[in-house]
Amino acid sequence: EDYLLELFRRGLTDSQRRQILADQPSWPIRYHLAYERGNLLSWYPFNDDAAVLEVGAGCGSITEVLVANKTLRGTSNELSPRRAKINALRNKGAKNLEIIIGNLFDYKPAEKFDYVVCVGVFEYAKSFIETANPYYDFLVTLRQFLKPGGTLLVAIENQLGMKYLAGAREDHTGNYMDG
């Protein structure tokens, strides 16, 4: 994260980013800088002027895709102040972004959202919700942020993900094709 923070603090350009990616960086750096991550949401037909809550925004690679759609109003929630800072620097030109630092369970927005986006967080629900059914309870929590008729978009790491098919180990267990 220190490396990413410094890159975005210095104003990482598109050509610098492409050069870093061409130099075969470590998996974490590729994960955070790869343009391909945007494929998770770039195809989705968001309604114009929609309000989007991104849960667990991390260093902003998904935020970057959301705010590129100038018709969206994005709110990114991140627990880690360092990751939120990276996200803010990465997306500093975005006029359609608000970053909320803190626990999602403490967040009380003034209004509900048309979309809630949760990428790479759901699989951790058991570590931060201590109930008999933490995954279900997390989905119930996410739904509470949606307007009636709103849409919840969830993506999780899984054994059919491209990085696993390319031979990477699963992030949580360290095993191949485990998820």
Contact present, 73 and 107 (Cβ < 8 Å): no
> What share of the chain has pLDDT > 70, as a percent?
90
pLDDT reported for residue 179: 57
Query: What pLDDT, on a 0 to 100 scale, did the predictor assign at position 37?
Result: 85
- With a cut of 70, say whether residue 166 has pLDDT above it: no
More confident residue, 83 or 166: 83
H or E stretch covering 154: strand 146-155
pLDDT at 74: 97
> pLDDT tens, 94-145?
999 999 999 999 999 999 999 999 998 998 898 899 999 999 999 999 999 9
pLDDT band at 169 (very low <50, low <70, confident <90, very high): confident
What is the pTM (predicted TM-score) of this model?
A: 0.87
**What one-character DSSP code corresponds to residue 113?**
E
Q: What is the mean pLDDT of residues 63-86?
A: 96
* pLDDT (0 to 100) of residue 178: 67
Q: Whose CA is closest to 140, among 37, 48, 157, 129?
A: 129
In tens, the pLDDT along 24-35 reads 998 889 989 999
- Give the per-residue pLDDT at 27: 84
The better pLDDT of the pair 51, 128 is held by 51
> Which pLDDT score is estimated for 159?
58
Long-range Cβ pairs for the range 153-161 (8 Å, 24+): 153/41, 153/44, 153/115, 153/116, 153/117, 153/118, 153/119, 154/118, 154/119, 154/122, 155/40, 155/118, 155/119, 155/120, 156/120, 156/122, 156/123, 157/120, 157/123
